[in-house]
């Protein structure tokens, strides 16, 4: 299994995938920080950490589904392009291992992006408010929740990427997901829970709360039920995708 994972990273040479993630998320981070800076200049009493985290989480709903689609597509499509499925499978590599290795590799790349975000948030917030102590647990929860949401999307995205050879479909699917991710905050909570791309804000440790006609930022603890549901979704999408891939004829 470790061999399969290390091979996935080896195959990413010259793909410039880290650069792509860095640039893509760099744009998002800059956009979010500009937005937070404007907001802070209008409301100097707003909590800096909380507002930065919620802004990034909200924008992740747009950006990360697209990144998930691109990462998944680039990792899986190189096998289609080079006709290498038959090479891997006839070289005694278990299909389930290949599927798992690709999923773990995509997840690791996403983790790099999310850690990059957390690092940027920390630096930005310190520059905005040097007296504030770094809330490490909040940042860790932000990383965890963003990764959880990403792993659900990646599991679904990888299944689609491998099921439909035309990558335009998988990428469009990712973009539609991104669109749903950004607009889902306007939906009622019950609807929002069925839209997996909305989980970036849904699972975020800080959320907006409407009270007396004004917006407040409050910290939320995720219930066991919600976490179980998310893990179940990951397992369902992953197993369905892996099973489908294992039965495909090459």
Partner 1 sequence: MNTIVSTYNLSKYFNGICRVNEVNLTVYEGDIYGFLGPNGAGKSTTLKMLLGLIKPTKGNMVIFSKNFNKNRQLILSQTGSLIESPSYYEHLTGLENMRILQRLRNVSNKKVQEALHIVRLEKQQNKLVKHYSLGMKQRLGIAMALINFPKLLILDEPTNGLDPNGIREIRELIKSLPQRYGITVLISTHLLSEIEQIATSVGIINDGNLLFQGSMEQLKAKNKAYISIKTQDNNLAKKILLTEGYKFKQNNDRLIFEDLTDSHIAYLNKLFIGQSIDVIRIEEHRKSLEDIFLELTGKERSL
Task: Identify the CA nearest to 155 among candidates 232, 217, 63.
Answer: 232
Report, in Å, the least distance between residue 77 CB and partner 1: 11
Window 79 to 118, contacts with partner 1 (CB under 8 A):
81-93
Report, in Å, the least distance between residue 73 CB and partner 1: 15
In contact, 216 and 209? CB cutoff 8 Å: yes
Q: 135 phi and psi, to 5 degrees?
A: -80, 85
Window 14 to 73, contacts with partner 1 (CB under 8 A):
14-15
CA 110 to CA 139: how far, in whole Å? 16
Using rule CB under 8 A, residue 2 touches partner 1:
no
Using rule CB under 8 A, residue 3 touches partner 1:
yes
Using rule CB under 8 A, residue 249 touches partner 1:
yes
Stretch that binds partner 1, among 10-18, 24-32, 61-69, 121-129 (CB under 8 A): 10-18
Using rule CB under 8 A, residue 123 touches partner 1:
no
Cα distances (angstroms) measured from residue 70 to each of 9, 113, 167, 177: 16, 13, 9, 12
CA 65 to CA 75: how far, in whole Å? 15
CA 96 to CA 246: how far, in whole Å? 7
Report, in Å, the least distance between residue 227 CB and partner 1: 37
Using rule CB under 8 A, residue 131 touches partner 1:
no
Task: Closer to partner 1 by CB, 15 or 209: give it.
Answer: 15
Using rule CB under 8 A, residue 7 touches partner 1:
yes
Task: Identify the CA nearest to 103 among candidates 42, 139, 153.
Answer: 153
Residue count of the chain, please give it.
250
Stretch that binds partner 1, among 6-14, 103-111, 149-157, 167-175 (CB under 8 A): 6-14
Q: How many amino acids of this chain bind partner 1 (CB under 8 A)?
A: 24
* Structure tokens, 241: 């995708």
Task: Closer to partner 1 by CB, 3 or 42: give it.
Answer: 3
Task: Closer to partner 1 by CB, 11 or 128: give it.
Answer: 11
Stretch that binds partner 1, among 44-52, 75-83, 191-199, 216-224 (CB under 8 A): 75-83
* Structure tokens, 155: 């599991």
Using rule CB under 8 A, residue 243 touches partner 1:
no
Using rule CB under 8 A, residue 13 touches partner 1:
yes
Report, in Å, the least distance between residue 79 CB and partner 1: 9
3-class SS at 209? strand
Task: Identify the CA nearest to 201 among candidates 176, 226, 169, 164.
Answer: 226
Task: Identify the CA nearest to 236 among candidates 146, 155, 177, 153.
Answer: 155
Residues lying near partner 1 in the complex (CB under 8 A) are found at: 3, 6-7, 10-11, 13-15, 78, 81-93, 249-250
């Amino acid at each position: 299994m470790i061999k399969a994972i290390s091979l996935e990273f080896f195959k990413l040479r010259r793909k410039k995938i880290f650069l792509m993630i860095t640039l893509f998320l760099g744009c998002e981070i800059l956009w979010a920080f500009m937005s937070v800076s404007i907001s802070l200049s209008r409301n100097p009493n707003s909590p800096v950490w909380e507002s930065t985290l919620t802004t990034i989480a909200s924008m992740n709903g747009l950006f990360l589904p697209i990144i998930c689609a691109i990462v998944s597509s680039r990792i899986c499509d190189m096998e289609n392009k080079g006709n290498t499925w038959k090479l891997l499978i006839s070289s005694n590599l278990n299909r389930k291992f290949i599927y798992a290795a690709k999923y773990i590799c995509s997840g690791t790349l996403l983790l790099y992006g999310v850690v990059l975000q957390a690092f940027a948030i920390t630096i930005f917030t310190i520059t905005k408010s040097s007296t504030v102590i770094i809330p490490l647990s909040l940042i860790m929860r932000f990383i965890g929740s963003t990764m959880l949401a990403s792993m659900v999307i990646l599991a679904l995205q990888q299944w689609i990427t491998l099921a439909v050879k035309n990558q335009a479909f998988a990428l469009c699917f990712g973009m539609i997901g991104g669109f749903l991710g950004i607009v889902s905050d306007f939906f009622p909570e019950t609807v929002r829970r069925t839209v997996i791309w909305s989980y970036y804000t849904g699972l975020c440790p800080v959320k907006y709360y409407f009270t007396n006609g004004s917006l407040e930022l409050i910290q939320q603890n995720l219930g066991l039920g919600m976490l179980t549901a998310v893990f179940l979704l990951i397992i369902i999408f992953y197993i369905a995708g892996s099973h489908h891939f294992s039965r495909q004829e090459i």
